Chain A
Amino acid sequence: MADKNAVQTPSKKKKKKGLSQYILGFFLLLYTLFCGLPILLVFISAFTDEMSIVQNGYSFFPKKWSTNGISAVLKYGSKLITSYGVTIFITVVGTLFGLFVMSMFAYAISRPGFRMARFLSIYLLIPMLFSGGILSSYLVYASLYGLKDSFLLLILPLSVSTMNVIILRTYIVNSVPLELMEAAKIDGAGDYRTFFQITLPLMKPVLAAVGFMMATAYWNEWQNALIFITTDSKKPLQLLLVNIQKSIEFLLNNNNVPASVRAAMGGTIPQQSATMATVVVVIGPIMVAYPFFQKYFVKGLTVGSVKG
């Protein structure tokens, strides 16, 4: 029962389309607008004329439209393309790698008769209860491992998470028939072959769900990049946004910055419509991909919510 989703499976409750339903609908609509309008504003502002923003402020109904913001983004040119490349790289590699190692782990600890599974389950849970915090991670990653400025720090820390492994394991236990895996064994398939040819293909829905959540996490990651990455050519998209914000901050707080420095920093204060256009470029791909994955991750989230 728990893997049903309220929206997808209308319950058999008696339906009354009375006035109260329309009142309820009105409030739901209000909340929907509350969620959607800020994002709409980003897209509108990206296409608003700069003077319009400066004089009249941000608006859902700008006086004048313009594509200058978008074309100004292209001024970042190679920087933007490099960052895009970095983000796509860590998102794709991180998600695939994470899914791979986590589903193998989930498969192993869900095997009946594998005694070490108990130890491994506890081993998996502890990081959720206790962690060293940001400072300890920083010390260990940067000075002990010597990984400063390495892509590995953008990929590895997010690749294995307790919650995702629990979701995957719950799915294997509940939705992949044990008989099927045992039949494969009787037919002579080894453990690896059983996993890769029987279990993994049957895990597609949950892999899509967890995969999308992971991909979003990778796409949106900025903190590790901010702390560890120093080389320009390794900076992901989010860091570009953070840096734009930092440079605005710097220029606003330092009125006495000489013109030469301003010029060296690449012109004046970044324009507001151009900044919004950058935001569009950064969040756009997720907005586009999300509707295709929605049904999977709503389902995946639901399945995984069963306590492991």
Chain B
Amino acid sequence: MTFLILVVAITAVVFLGLFLLRNRMKNTWKNRAHVVMAYPAFLILLLMAYIPMTGLILAFKTYDFTAGSFYTMPWADPIFKNFRVLSASKQLFYTMTRNTLIYYVLFTVIGTFLNIVLAIAIDQFVFKRVAKTMQTIMIIPIFVSYAAVTFIVYAFISPDTGIINQVMGTHIEYYKSSGVDYWPTILTIVKMWNSVGYGSVLYMSVLAGIDTGLYEAAQIDGAGKWKQIWHITLPSLIPMITVMLLLSVGGIMKSDTGLFYQVTRDIGGLYPKTQVIDSYILGQIRSKPNWGFTSAATFFQSIVGLLMMLGANGLVRKIAPENALF
């Protein structure tokens, strides 16, 4: 109900405002058809992305469910109280921040590397029909939901019936805290299985755009295949690599909850190596949230993401301005 009122009210304000200001905003009024067309998506972004940003304010409030909404809750006293809670539970916060960062670096470095290797390999492969069939299979995993992947992973690493234990002749309890050290490897493999085939498509499109004359010239100059890859193929991929890294760096504090909450089955014994900020927050929402801690962690997560993005973009703008995002 509140939602409907909001939708109607915002719409009324926007269009009434446009109508009243039509003499001042001549260009916008002349293009009002475009305003109308852009409006639905504008409204959805406002309601689903922009207004939720205000939820971060909770990090500076004392949670009180008797207040109507989090806007009207009393301010924390002192204002950074929630962040003191955060630093009081240092161990927990440290563990999940560390895990988040380590997995981000692992996935980004290994993922980018494999994307490029696979793209070049397929590009160099001369049996194009075979390559296309292989590519079809390589892309499929991205379409399998993590809810389903959970069961596939179980089939491989279940202690009694899992394929890995059968083949290796071992009996490792991967899902108990004794098996916690295997999880960084397991999660990395699952993530690469899921995303590399799909991720390489982008790089392949760049490879297809390279002027073949360059390769021919290199060949005449006596450069072998490896030399050609090193001096022609890789440099031409750098703009795309930069853009992809920039796009991903804003999410440095975010993680795929499907991977960390579902595939790990949210098992407490595995937390030391598998709990990330997002899976912690999701778990908190599902149970009874520790509001102070969770809201401060959320605030930290958002701000660090923004700063990393701005920092990385600024850096790129200094080194290679043409590759910067904005």
A residues near B (Cβ < 8 Å) are: 1-17, 20-21, 24-25, 27-29, 31-32, 34-36, 38-39, 41-42, 45, 53-54, 56-59, 100-102, 104-105, 107-109, 111, 113-117, 120, 123-141, 143-147, 152, 156-157, 159-160, 165, 190-192, 195, 216, 219-220, 222-223, 226-227, 238-239, 241-242, 245, 249, 272, 275-276, 279, 282-283, 286-287, 290-291, 294, 298, 301-302, 305, 307
Expressed in whole angstroms, the minimum distance between the Cβ of A61 and any Cβ of chain B is 11
Since A128-B247, A145-B3 are in contact, a sample of 12 more A-B pairs with Cβ atoms closer than 8 Å, ordered by chain A residue number, is A32-B138, A34-B193, A57-B163, A102-B41, A107-B37, A109-B38, A114-B27, A132-B52, A144-B69, A192-B37, A241-B148, A241-B150
- A7-B132, A35-B138, A38-B152 given as contacts; is B126 within 8 A of A17 (CB)? yes
How far is B141's CA from A290's CA once the two chains are assembled, in angstroms?
11
Within 8 A of A (CB), among B115-136: 118-119, 121-128, 130-132, 134-136
A192 touches B33 (CB 8 A): yes
A–B complex contacts, Cβ < 8 Å, 27 sampled: A5-B204, A5-B205, A6-B208, A13-B212, A35-B193, A38-B141, A39-B141, A41-B155, A41-B163, A58-B156, A104-B38, A116-B35, A123-B45, A129-B306, A130-B306, A132-B56, A132-B302, A133-B281, A136-B56, A137-B48, A160-B48, A195-B37, A222-B258, A238-B147, A242-B262, A305-B206, A307-B325
B44 touches A101 (CB 8 A): yes
Which residues of A are found within 8 Å of B247, using beta-carbon distances?
128
Which residues of A are found within 8 Å of B161, using beta-carbon distances?
53-54, 56-58, 272
Q: Name the CB-closest residue of B to A14.
A: B219
Contact with A28, one of B1, B6, B125, B325 (Cβ below 8 angstroms): B125
How far is B243's CA from A222's CA once the two chains are assembled, in angstroms?
29
How far is B254's CA from A259's CA once the two chains are assembled, in angstroms?
42
How far is B297's CA from A95's CA once the two chains are assembled, in angstroms?
33
Expressed in whole angstroms, the minimum distance between the Cβ of A56 and any Cβ of chain B is 8
How far is B150's CA from A107's CA once the two chains are assembled, in angstroms?
40
For the complex, is B272 an interface residue (Cβ under 8 Å from A)? no
A279 touches B151 (CB 8 A): yes
Which residues of B are found within 8 Å of A2, using beta-carbon distances?
205-206, 208-209
Which residues of A are found within 8 Å of B28, using beta-carbon distances?
115-116
How far is B142's CA from A168's CA once the two chains are assembled, in angstroms?
21
How far is B149's CA from A220's CA once the two chains are assembled, in angstroms?
11
A58 touches B162 (CB 8 A): yes
Interface centre among B27, B119, B137 (most CB of A within 10 A): B137
Contact with B55, one of A111, A115, A135 (Cβ below 8 angstroms): A135
- A7-B132, A101-B40, A134-B285 given as contacts; is B209 within 8 A of A1 (CB)? yes
- A108-B35, A114-B34, A137-B52 given as contacts; is B45 within 8 A of A7 (CB)? no
For the complex, is B294 an interface residue (Cβ under 8 Å from A)? yes
Expressed in whole angstroms, the minimum distance between the Cβ of B152 and any Cβ of chain A is 5
B151 touches A141 (CB 8 A): no
- A57-B163, A279-B152 given as contacts; is B131 within 8 A of A245 (CB)? no
Which residues of A are found within 8 Å of B150, using beta-carbon distances?
241, 245
A42 touches B152 (CB 8 A): yes
How far is B127's CA from A10's CA once the two chains are assembled, in angstroms?
10
Which residues of B are found within 8 Å of A45, using beta-carbon distances?
155
For the complex, is B201 an interface residue (Cβ under 8 Å from A)? yes
For the complex, is B305 an interface residue (Cβ under 8 Å from A)? yes
Contact with A35, one of B147, B197, B285 (Cβ below 8 angstroms): B197
How far is B297's CA from A133's CA once the two chains are assembled, in angstroms?
10
Interface centre among B152, B258, B309 (most CB of A within 10 A): B152
- A58-B163, A132-B53, A241-B147 given as contacts; is B38 within 8 A of A125 (CB)? no
Per CB-CB distance, the 6 closest pairs between chain A and chain B, nearest first, are A136-B55, A220-B145, A191-B33, A105-B41, A57-B161, A302-B205
B52 touches A28 (CB 8 A): no
For the complex, is B8 an interface residue (Cβ under 8 Å from A)? no
User: B44-59: contact bitstring with A at CB < 8 Å (1 yes, 0 no)?
Assistant: 1101111111111010
Which residues of A are found within 8 Å of B309, using beta-carbon distances?
129
Q: Name the CB-closest residue of B to A276.
A: B151
Which residues of A are found within 8 Å of B286, using beta-carbon distances?
226-227
- A190-B33, A279-B148, A307-B243 given as contacts; is B56 within 8 A of A36 (CB)? no
Expressed in whole angstroms, the minimum distance between the Cβ of B3 and any Cβ of chain A is 4
Expressed in whole angstroms, the minimum distance between the Cβ of B287 and any Cβ of chain A is 12
- A39-B152, A132-B56, A135-B285 given as contacts; is B208 within 8 A of A4 (CB)? yes
A302 touches B31 (CB 8 A): no
How far is B262's CA from A222's CA once the two chains are assembled, in angstroms?
10
- A4-B208, A127-B49 given as contacts; is B41 within 8 A of A160 (CB)? yes
B205 touches A6 (CB 8 A): yes
- A38-B152, A132-B54, A139-B55 given as contacts; is B138 within 8 A of A31 (CB)? yes
- A105-B41, A132-B302 given as contacts; is B48 within 8 A of A57 (CB)? no
Interface centre among B69, B204, B254, B285 (most CB of A within 10 A): B285
Expressed in whole angstroms, the minimum distance between the Cβ of B125 and any Cβ of chain A is 6
Which residues of B are found within 8 Å of A298, using beta-carbon distances?
201
